[in-house]
Amino acid sequence: MYSGKLKDDLLDRLFEAIMLLENLDEYYRFFEDICTVAELKSLAQRLEVAKMLRENQTYGEISSRTGASTATISRVKRALNYGADGYKLVFDRKMRKKKGQRGLSIE
């Protein structure tokens, strides 16, 4: 159970609202209403930076491909190394899901 420094009632309600969404279209609709385009692009950029860091790509490669500043890349790297393991949780689940789908395919 998460007990980090961010936990509060407002964030609980936000995350509970997100958990009510059922598909990608609903996610787009909700996040378009609740975030600016720049905020969403920034979140997406950080996720891509984290993926590329896990693939051991260089800051130069990451910056060139994503447009992220070295400060953003450093911040994401710090979160990967010393954060709450949120990125790891998402990447591990995505990998398991991918493997599960591969295992179910008929060849």
Domains and their CATH numbers in the chain: 1-34 (no CATH), 43-104 (1.10.1270.10)
pLDDT over 90 for what percent of the chain? 84
Task: Give 73: exposed, middle or buried? Use CB within 10 Å, 0-12, 13-18, 19+.
Answer: buried
Q: Tokens standing for 107? A: 């060849």
Q: What is the mean pLDDT of residues 27-32?
A: 98
pLDDT over 70 for what percent of the chain? 94
Distance between CA 92 and CA 70 in Å, rounded?
A: 25
Tens-digit pLDDT profile for residues 64-78: 999 999 999 999 999
In the prediction, which pLDDT does 103 show?
Answer: 60
